[in-house]
Each structure stands twice: as C-alpha cells, then as structure tokens.
Structure 1
Amino acid sequence: MKIVVASDHAGFSLKEEVKKFLEDGGHEILDFGTHNTNPSHLSDYIYPAALSLSEGKAERGIFIDGVGYGSALIANKIYGVYAAVCQDPFCAKLARSHSNTNALCIGAKIIGSAIALETINTWMNTDFLGDIEKYKIRVDKVTKISEKHLKKLSEI
C-alpha cells in the first residue's frame, strides 16, 4: 500500500521510526517532511501531504506532531481526507472499522514509539465494517457533509 507521511519537528523522530516500520511491512512511503528537528510549522508538511492523499497519490496517510490534534485539524480541511487522532490501538481499530478513516494522526509527545507502532499496525490492518448498515450510514452522512461544505480539488 502507498502511504503518505508527514510531521513537524516534534514528530520527526517518531515519523522516521514509522517509515521504517511501514517499509519493513512492504509499504511504499511518500514522505512530505519535515526532514529534521529544526522548529517548523506543521501546516507546511501536513497540508501538502493531505492534498496528496486527496488526489489519490496514496491510499492512507499518517501524520505526526506533538499531540496529533494540529495534524487532524489541517487534514480534515481537505476534501476526501478523513483523519482521526488515535493514541492507542483500541481507538485506531474503531477509527477504521466504524468511521473508515484514511488518515491517522498521532501525538509524539503523548505516546512512545512502541504504542505508536502498535496503534499504526492495528489501524493499517483493520477493515471498515461497511457491510454493517449502521456504519455505512454513518460514513455516508459524514461524506455528505464533506460534499456540502468542502470543494473537490478539481473544483479549486
């Protein structure tokens, strides 16, 4: 699977561990930066990564900052990106199975790499329960909200 990753300076070290973990699992990584621990602005990296995900250049995105919420705020502004902040495997499982998220946001200041990698592994290996009507309806409603309020990239 092709996965886009991005971080700010606070998430850089964990992003590097995540890249290796995913590559070792046979995934192709598109890294949008940052590429060091120098102070940086999260939006400079998450925004283009989320655009890439929306354009279909990757199937999933993993975004890492200090607490995860900044990444989710940016990513969820982009049409077709459905990002959730998850700090443990249980939340990651629900984010995929119940909500069909395509972007995972993690806080490097909140959890260590062992839990982060377990969380990512769970999220990557959990399928959406779209054959269960209540989850399909839920995701369809969220998609309709997105279609009503966000512009497709082709319309910008």
Structure 2
Amino acid sequence: MKIGIGSDHIGFDFKETIKSFVEELGHEVVDFGCYSREAVDYPDVAFEVAGAVSEKRVERGILICGTGIGVAVAACKYPGIRAALAHDVYSAERAQLSNNAQIITMGAQIIGTQVGKKVVEAYLNSHWAGGSERKVNKIIEKENEFLDKIKAEVSGNHCS
C-alpha cells in the first residue's frame, strides 16, 4: 500500500521511527512533513495528508502530533475523511473494520515506539469489509447534507 505520513514538530522523531517501520513492512511511504524539529502547525500537515488520501494519491494515512487529537480533528475537517485516534491495537483494528477510517492518528507524547508500531501494523493489516456499513453511511450522508447546504448557499449568492 501507499501510505501518507505526517506530523508536527512534537511528533517528528516518532514519525521518523514509524515511517521506517512502515517501509520495513513493505509499504511505500510518502512523507508530508514535517521534516525537522522546527515548529510547524499540525493542521497544515493534517490537511496535506487528508488531501492526499481524498485525492487517492495515497491509500491510507498516519498522522502524529503530541496527543493525536489535534491532527484527528483537523483531518476530519477535510470532506470525506474519517480519521481515528488509535493508541492500542484494538482501536487501530476497529478504526478500519468498523469505521473504514482512511487515517489513524497517534500521540507521540502518549504512546511509546513499540506500542506505536503494533498499532500501525494492526491498522495496516485490517481491511474494511463493510462492518458497520449502515453507521458509516449515516456519517457520509450527514456530511453530504452539509456540503449540499453549503453549495446551495454559495450558488444563491451570485451577483447578476
């Protein structure tokens, strides 16, 4: 699989370790930054990975910040994206099996390297088979409802 990965400066070292591990598992990795410990705003990186997933330039994404919460919130603002915080193997599996999450997020200040590797491996080895499809479809329908409302509002504001 082609995996997009990104982090803020707090998650940089953890991202580098996870990136190498994903490559060891045989996946291709596209690194969307950050590329050093210099301060960067996590939404910027989250939007890059979410955009790559949405546009199918990568198949799945992994995002890392201090807690994993900020990048999850930011990525989920991107239409069509379901990002799930996963700090244990069971959550990582369920992110994919129950929610068809295209992105998992982790907190570099929350979990250690070995647990992080197990979380990533569990996520990448899990594949959506329609579990909880009815529930996921409700999420997609609500999102589409909001997007349609926004489109209608924008098209109604044309100047003649």
TM-score, structure 2 length as denominator? 0.88
123, 131, 136: which one aligns with 2:133: 136
Matches within 5 A, 1:25-104: 25-104=25-104
Residue 154 of structure 1 corresponds to none
Q: Can you give the 5+ residue segments of structure 1 that lack an aligned partner in the other structure?
A: 152-156
Percent identity, please. Answer: 34
Q: Can you give the 5+ residue segments of structure 2 that lack an aligned partner in the other structure?
A: 149-160
Contact kept, 8 Å, 2:43 with 2:75, in 1: the verdict is no
Q: For the structure 1 residues 22 and 150, does the alpha-carbon distance in structure 2 shift closer, same or farther, using more than 3 Å as the test?
A: farther
In structure 1, C-alpha distance between the alignment counterparts of 2:44 and 2:59, rounded to whole Å:
21
For residue 6 of structure 2, give the secondary structure of its aligned residue in structure 1.
strand
TM-score, structure 1 length as denominator? 0.90
In structure 2, C-alpha distance between the alignment counterparts of 1:103 and 1:145, rounded to whole Å:
20
Contact kept, 8 Å, 1:77 with 1:150, in 2: the verdict is no
More divergent stretch after superposition (142-151 vs 97-106): 142-151
For residue 122 of structure 2, give the secondary structure of its aligned residue in structure 1.
helix
1:35-88 per-residue CA deviation (whole Å, 9 max, x = no partner) reads: 011122112211112111111101100000000010011100111211000111
State the Cα distance separating 1:106 from its structure 2 match. 0.3
State the Cα distance separating 1:18 from its structure 2 match. 0.9
Aligned residues: 148
Q: CA RMSD in A?
A: 1.2
Please tell me whether Structure 1 or Structure 2 has the larger radius of gyration of its CA atoms: 2
